[in-house]
């Protein structure tokens, strides 16, 4: 089983840096510090809205990571 991957995003309410699981990219999350709700975004995306292509890319990346992990764990 592969470990979850994270990216760091600042909470737009309190400014605290939060680790957000990659599979939550583009979804609404809540800051554990202040309770502020916001849509998670990769800082490299700037202010543009996440698109279907972005979520497809995340799904493909997760599939590749899982495949690599399964290959590594396979007995020789």
- Which residues form the domain of 53? 6-73
Q: What is the mean pLDDT of the chain?
A: 78
> Has this prediction a pTM greater than 0.85?
no
Region 10-28: what's the mean pLDDT? 90
Instruction: Return the CATH number at 32.
Output: 2.20.28
What lies within 8 Å, CB to CB, of 72 at 6+ separation is none
Domain count, the chain: 1
**38 in any annotated domain:** yes
**1 in any annotated domain:** no
Helices in 1-76 by DSSP H: which ranges?
52-73
């Amino acid at each position: 089983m592969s470990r979850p991957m994270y990216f760091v995003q600042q909470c737009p309410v309190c400014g605290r840096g939060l680790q957000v699981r990659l599979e939550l990219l583009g979804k609404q999350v809540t800051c554990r510090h202040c309770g502020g709700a916001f849509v998670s975004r990769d800082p490299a995306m700037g202010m543009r809205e996440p698109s279907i292509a972005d979520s497809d890319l995340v799904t493909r990346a997760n599939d590749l990571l899982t495949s690599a992990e399964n290959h590594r764990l396979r007995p020789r």
